[in-house]
Amino acid sequence: MEKKLAQKKIVWLKKHRLFDSKFKVFEKQSKIYIPVKEKVSGAIGIEIQPISKKPKSIDEVLRNILSPKELSSVVASFDIIGDIAIIEIPDILIPKEKEIANAIMQIHKNVRVVAKKQGPMEGEYRVRKLSIILGESRTETMYKENKVKMLLDITKVYFSSRLSFERKRIALQVKDGEKILALFAGIGPFPLVIAKTKKNCEIIAIELNPIAVEYMKKNIALNKIKNIIAICGDVKEIVPREYKNYADRILMPLPKDAEEFLSIAYEGAKNNAIIHFYTFADIKNPFEDAKRKIFAHLKKENIEIISERIVRPFSPARVQVAIDFRLN
Ligand SMILES: C[S@@+](CC[C@H](N)C(=O)[O-])C[C@H]1O[C@@H](n2cnc3c(N)ncnc32)[C@H](O)[C@@H]1O
């Protein structure tokens, strides 16, 4: 059959929903073979294999192994930090965890390690226990975000890739010459993104976990940043001792207990300083809940709320909230 005629036949078959797109049109010994879904008068029957399509999503790989509910719980709870995927495996899915990990590696070709959560974030350092279920035996990785490289060990420090928008949002607000107190700085994601975005500012980054501070120092060097000073210690001691009335802007990314540190932030703030306060709040009334915590520690008349934002869901009943306010 000549090509023009074949083209016409394909158009006709498609119009009548008889063309079978699971197969390829092919030419062999000057004959053109067109796949059809059912018998068409004049066609001869030959059998060929369907084209094997590469799966494009984890859903596609796991569809036959997990129920839709199991599938959505696995997909919703997984994060990739650098080349490590972190997943949550409910007890009933433990027998299938290797297959789940395999599916992740099959779809995310850059993932070299799949680790599973062994519990919630714990302790003062907000660190989570993890165990590797597939891939290389390591927990250190290099993560890139907002043009910043960050080295970290997912079992030794807190880190969340889900705050990347939040970091950029704050960085874009920083003005020339600002002095910033980055409390609870971890491995430095907030200060690093700010410093990369705005060179003309000074950032004091304070963190309690000595391993996180080591990583923060490495990350400052890695990104050739000159305007962050990383300090290891408790903000309750360091701010009143060394940074009273210092800051134009204070970051408080410790959503679990941030309100307990509001009086410390107050001590570190200049008049008119902006505070970025993070907390977990009731999903039904998140902003009122968050503001109640602020007003319990600082005088309402001294506070001008600038913005209120839901950062991310935290649990079925709670969300993480960011309240930006000015201290007068
Ligand atoms: C939720 S993490 C946030 C870390 C980092 N800002 C980030 O976004 O990845 C809170 C951090 O605060 C640190 N931290 C807790 N209490 C502290 C304190 N009293 N003084 C300084 N850092 C503290 C913890 O070690 C932890 O690294």
* Distance from C-alpha of 191 to C-alpha of 195, rounded to nearest angstrom: 6
Residues forming a β-bridge with 21: none
All domains of the chain in start order, with CATH:
1-52 (no CATH), 58-138 (3.30.300.110), 144-149+158-327 (3.40.50.150)
Q: How many CB atoms lie within 10 A of CB 218?
A: 17
The answer, yes or no, to whether any atom of ligand 1 lies below 6 A from the CB of 208, is yes
Distance CA 52, CA 49 (A): 8
Q: At 283, list the tokens.
A: 């999903």
Residue 207 Cβ inside 6 Å of ligand 1? The answer reads: yes
Q: Are 187 and 157 in contact (CB under 8 A)?
A: yes
One pLDDT digit (tens) per residue for the chain, 328 residues: 578 888 888 998 888 888 888 788 888 778 888 888 888 877 777 766 655 567 788 888 888 788 888 887 777 778 999 999 999 998 888 999 999 999 999 999 999 999 999 999 999 999 999 999 999 999 999 999 989 999 999 999 999 999 999 999 999 999 999 999 999 999 999 999 999 998 899 999 999 999 999 999 999 999 999 999 999 999 999 999 999 999 999 999 999 999 999 999 999 999 999 999 999 999 999 999 999 999 999 999 999 999 999 999 998 899 999 999 999 8
Residue 206 CA: nearest ligand 1 atom is 21
Please name which of 176, 216, 186, 178 lies closest in space to residue 278, comparing C-alpha atoms.
Answer: 186
Distance CA(57)–CA(79), nearest Å, equals 15
Q: Which atom of ligand 1 is nearest to the CA of 159?
A: 9
Residues in a beta bridge with 79? 86
pTM: 0.83
Phi, psi of 273 (to 5 degrees): -65, 150
**N-to-C CA span, the chain:** 83
